Amino acid sequence: MMVIPEYIKKLVPYKSGKPIDELAREKGLTRIVKLASNENPLGPSPMALEAIKAGVNDLHRYTDPGCFQLLQKLSTAYKLPADQIFPASGSDAIIQYIVAAFSEAGDELLSSAGTFIGWGVNVAKLGRKMVNVPLMNYNYDLDGILNKITEKTRIIYIANPNNPTGMLIGKTEFDSFLNKVPENVLVVYDEAYHLYASQNANYPDGLSYLNRENVLVLRTFSKSYGLAGLRVGVAFGNAELIQMLTKTRLPFEPNQLAQLAVLAAMDDIGFLQKTLEVHNASMKMLCSKFDELGMLYTHSASNFTMLLFANEEIANQFHSMCLDNGLILRGLASFGIPNGVRINSGTIEETVFALEVISRVHKSITEKQLIQ
């Protein structure tokens, strides 16, 4: 009989937001809007699409395992040596490589309960000990994390803005935190929502910390560039850390079309500007309506916000009723915030539809509570 490690038996697989096709089959709906997974509502960069079309005839060839063209492009764009850059198949893959490369069984990996669920999944599946500090006002308790550092601590994970709460750690606070982290503890600074957060003057840009030998910065092309289905993420750090990561990466990733898409998307400046314009308009509409309805939500620095309800039962009811009306949002029980529901910005048309659904659902739930 096969022996399965206990940490694998206990592992709960990552569960993504409900796919549109699945909801259509379940409910028989013809109008569905998905604002659950923090995707770019404009779709992929048009320049990336053209690059993909042009590259399909070479799919019988293996991808350049050294990612030469992609590294040169990233090096030029970010003004960093290529040996400080590590591309792979999405931030989830990079997190897995980080955990494998810089920790071993018995080590402790620190973060907060209520952060990106992919971090916890990757730590658990590699059999590491995860130490979580509760959120404070839906943001990282950095002092609490510092107080949990022990001789066994190897890695600290910080997502800024935090997913799923959207809360931002300011530059002064983050600088103070880094100055207190021991040099032998790696800080993984996840900037998946950098484009949106960088509109805030107080945002600590991760690339400004690469002079520190114990910092790895993560960015992704899934969100603002609209390439979530291709899975491309990048880590930045000192050359020694990047060299160790390269040893753990699977060969031939990111895949051929993904690399071509990123090369083109990085030149599509107009698409990024349009992305921000649509996001800002949508988020303004969402927050204005939430204020009008008296709904609680986090003041997010990202392309999503988190709605807060009195308890898990009401949050589940709200989420379920939105699904019944064709609006896919993200329940957050698996993130450790059972009374929260996440919603990302959409196109103006999608936002109008979402607010119509939310208004109806909110009214229905409120009326039921009054009757009770």
- Asked if the model's pLDDT at residue 58 lies above 50, the reply is yes
Distance between CA 215 and CA 155 in Å, rounded?
10
Distance between CA 247 and CA 72 in Å, rounded?
20
The pLDDT score that the predictor gives to residue 14 is 66
What token pair was written down for 339? 């009374």
- Asked if the model's pLDDT at residue 372 lies above 50, the reply is no
**How large a percentage of the chain has pLDDT more than 90?**
81
What token pair was written down for 21? 């096709």
- pLDDT tier at 325, thresholds 50, 70, 90: very high
- Asked if the model's pLDDT at residue 331 lies above 90, the reply is yes
Q: What is the pLDDT of residues 265-322, one digit of tens each?
A: 999 999 999 999 999 999 999 999 999 999 999 999 999 999 999 999 999 999 999 9
* DSSP one-letter code for 218: E
Q: What is the mean pLDDT of residues 80-99?
A: 95
Q: Select from 132, 140, 92 the least CA-distant residue to 110.
A: 132
Task: Enumerate the domain spans of the chain.
Answer: 12-44+269-371, 46-265
- Asked if the model's pLDDT at residue 20 lies above 90, the reply is no
Per DSSP, the residues of 287-354 read: HHHHHHHT-EE---SSSEEEEE-SSHHHHHHHHHHHHHTTEE-EE-GGGT-TTEEEEE---HHHHHHH
The CATH topology of domain 46-265 is Aspartate Aminotransferase; domain 2 (3.40.640)
- Asked if the model's pLDDT at residue 370 lies above 70, the reply is no
Q: Which CA distances in Å does 296 have to 30, 194, 340, 341, 358?
A: 30, 25, 10, 11, 13
- CATH code matching the domain that covers 12-44+269-371, chosen among 3.40.1280.10, 3.90.1150.10, 2.40.420.20, 3.40.630.10: 3.90.1150.10
Is the pTM higher than 0.95? The answer reads no
Mean pLDDT over all residues of the chain?
92
